[in-house]
């Protein structure tokens, strides 16, 4: 009796359906395994129907004579058409998932799948029930006209969404800006609307019909890199070409902007009150624009101060009185003192302490491309950049890794002075560079009087080590690079007393 049941196509069909249900339960929503399971089920069902001389693409019921068998044949044929539709639908979904950035998104995917299932349903009506689909289509056409008139607004959104996706003006993940100022990153496109996530992390829902009529700017396409422009006004105390060179140095010292294509400095205006410059550069993505803009503004301030320039007031505003450089130099003739006064690290020092430290500082000049510090050597002085730009480059075999760029006001050499550690990279002058060095002994004497300086230097060194870990293995454990651990080691090496910071 068991062998008879196994030979019965009805029981074979039931077993096949049960196995398919178990496979779908095991594989869950995995698109690849679901496609494989649907294909295997469809192939086995096709073999079963062919062996029993059942043609699913005709209205013939084959060898079925009684009502029960006719019902079985009808159900098997209907399942065959539905199974074929599932294979096609799974293929469509898997194809769009393989795309890292599906241009058609969910809308076109759902439309294709809907067409597949509608075709399968019409095939079932024709080849299983033997009905003529001509009158059915004519009746549904009249119904579609009535429904279309009632749902004009909805259909407008639907077809606008289809047109937008076929036009490929944007895709999921792109950042777009509409002509009315609405902007955001596309997170979803569906039948009725497009969902944008704006800069404040709020969801903005734009109807597809409104989006189709709007003028939009895609900030992500054709590439992720995004352009940024800044306007800078400088008092014309020296020739424009010299100030332009300072602005180029600003862009050269930035760590956040792309080096290729090269940033551009343009003179856009000149009058008795100011020279106006436009600094144009590109960043790797729209999300990096704010950080890059902030860094460039900071570098403009530092480089203009180092070059003895003064920023001008906005156009139309009263001009800011220009300070006499000779008068400023008369107040504090020591350039080293002015450098210390501009660095937050030494803000806790008194005037006398700054004067004493400045008097002991030594000025060093480096020509363009000169080597300031060598990889795997230990510096014995704390270095402060006064003017120019230097690059930190690590050599690993034939590969050169750029770690950072150093601008006026930046320090280096602290790991050798504080811990006796080796420099992880070469430091080379990109332009002519002026550096002031503070001897280790004098720095130790200052830290004895101002223990808070050890904490600040420990924090600076910790941040630098953490930054370097993104480029290469610095050979320092997470515990050893912690600010508290570094501060403790600095206290021990320099015999700095514990207690409350002054």
Return the residue matching tokens 């993940």. 173
Tokens of 79: 């399942």
What SS3 class is residue 194?
strand
pLDDT along the chain (502 residues), means of 10: 57 78 72 78 81 74 64 79 82 63 56 79 74 62 56 68 73 84 84 84 87 83 82 92 93 91 92 92 86 94 90 76 50 70 81 85 93 91 92 89 90 84 91 91 81 76 74 48 57 56 41
User: Which strand (E) or helix (H) includes residue 428?
Assistant: strand 426-429
- Amino acid 296: pLDDT: 95
Tokens of 91: 């293929």
Q: What is the CA radius of gyration of the chain?
A: 36
Distance CA 335, CA 345 (A): 17
The number of C-alpha atoms within 13 Å of 361 and in the hemisphere containing its C-beta is: 26
Q: Which among 499, 337, 485, 340 is positioned nearest to 418, based on CA atoms? A: 485
What SS3 class is residue 42?
helix
Tokens of 449: 């009087």
Classify residue 491 as exposed, middle or buried by CB count within 10 Å of its CB (0-12, 13-18, 19+).
Answer: middle
The number of C-alpha atoms within 13 Å of 413 and in the hemisphere containing its C-beta is: 20
Q: Which among 308, 179, 292, 277 is positioned nearest to 225, based on CA atoms? A: 292
What SS3 class is residue 62?
coil
In sequence order, which residues have a C-beta less than 8 Å from that of residue 450 and are 6 or more positions away? 348, 349, 353, 502
Chain centroid offset of residue 358 CA: 43
DSSP states of 361-427? -EEEEE-TT-EEE-TT---SEEEEEEES-EEEEEEETTEEEEEEEE-TT-EE-HHHHHH-PPPSSEE
Contact predicate 445/353, CB 8 Å: no
Instruction: Using a cut of 0.75, tell me whether the model's pTM lies above it.
Output: no
Residue 305: CB atoms within 10 Å: 17
State yes or no: cis peptide before 364, omega within 30 of 0.
no
**Length of the chain as a residue count:** 502
What are the two backbone dihedrals, phi and then psi, of residue 390, each rounded to the nearest 5 degrees?
A: -125, 155
What are the two backbone dihedrals, phi and then psi, of residue 132, each rounded to the nearest 5 degrees?
A: -80, 125
User: Which strand (E) or helix (H) includes residue 187?
Assistant: strand 183-189
Distance CA 149, CA 87 (A): 35
Return the residue matching tokens 């960043």. 283
């Amino acid at each position: 009796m068991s062998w008879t049941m196994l030979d019965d196509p009805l029981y074979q069909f039931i077993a096949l359906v049960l196995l398919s249900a178990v496979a779908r339960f095991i594989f869950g929503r995995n698109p690849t395994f679901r496609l494989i399971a649907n294909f295997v089920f469809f192939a086995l069902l096709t073999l079963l129907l062919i062996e029993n001389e059942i043609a699913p693409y005709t209205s013939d019921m084959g060898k079925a004579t009684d009502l029960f068998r006719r019902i079985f044949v009808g159900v098997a044929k209907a399942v065959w058409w539905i199974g074929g539709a599932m294979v096609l639908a799974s293929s469509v979904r898997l194809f769009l998932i393989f795309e890292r950035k599906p241009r058609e998104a969910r809308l076109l995917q759902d439309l294709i799948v809907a067409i597949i299932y509608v075709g399968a349903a019409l095939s079932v009506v024709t080849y299983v029930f033997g009905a003529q689909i001509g009158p059915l289509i004519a009746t549904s056409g009249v119904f579609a006209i009535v429904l279309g008139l009632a749902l004009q607004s909805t259909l407008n959104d639907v077809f606008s969404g289809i047109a937008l996706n076929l036009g490929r003006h944007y895709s999921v993940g792109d950042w777009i800006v509409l002509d009315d100022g609405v902007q955001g990153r596309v997170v979803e496109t569906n039948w009725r609307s497009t969902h944008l996530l704006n800069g404040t992390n709020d969801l903005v829902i734009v109807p597809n019909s409104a989006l189709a009529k709007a003028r939009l700017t895609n900030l992500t396409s054709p590439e992720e890199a995004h352009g940024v422009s800044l306007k800078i006004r400088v008092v014309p105390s020296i020739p424009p070409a010299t100030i332009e060179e300072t602005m180029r140095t600003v862009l050269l010292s930035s760590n956040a902007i792309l080096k290729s294509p090269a940033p551009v400095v343009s003179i856009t205006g000149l009058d008795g009150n100011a020279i106006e410059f436009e600094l144009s550069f590109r960043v790797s993505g729209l999300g990096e624009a704010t950080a890059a803009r902030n860094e460039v503004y900071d570098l403009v301030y530092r480089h203009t101060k180092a070059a003895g320039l003064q920023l001008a007031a906005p156009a139309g505003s009263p001009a800011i009185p220009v300070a006499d450089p000779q008068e400023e130099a008369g107040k504090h003739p020591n350039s080293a003192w002015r450098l210390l006064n501009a660095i937050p690290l030494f803000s806790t020092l008194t005037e006398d302490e700054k004067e004493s430290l400045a008097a002991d500082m030594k000025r060093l000049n480096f020509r363009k491309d000169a080597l300031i510090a060598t990889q795997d050597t230990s510096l014995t002085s704390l270095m402060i950049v006064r003017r120019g730009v230097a690059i930190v480059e690590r050599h690993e075999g034939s590969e050169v890794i750029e770690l950072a760029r150093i601008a006026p006001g930046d320090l280096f050499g602290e790991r050798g002075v504080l811990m006796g550690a080796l420099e992880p990279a070469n430091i080379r002058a990109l332009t002519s560079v002026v550096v002031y060095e503070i001897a280790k002994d004098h720095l130790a004497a200052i830290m004895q009087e101002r223990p808070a300086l050890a904490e600040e230097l420990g924090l600076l060194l910790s941040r630098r080590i953490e930054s370097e870990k993104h480029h290469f293995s610095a050979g320092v454990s997470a515990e050893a690079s912690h600010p508290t651990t570094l501060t403790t080691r600095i206290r021990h090496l320099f015999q700095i007393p514990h207690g409350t910071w002054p």
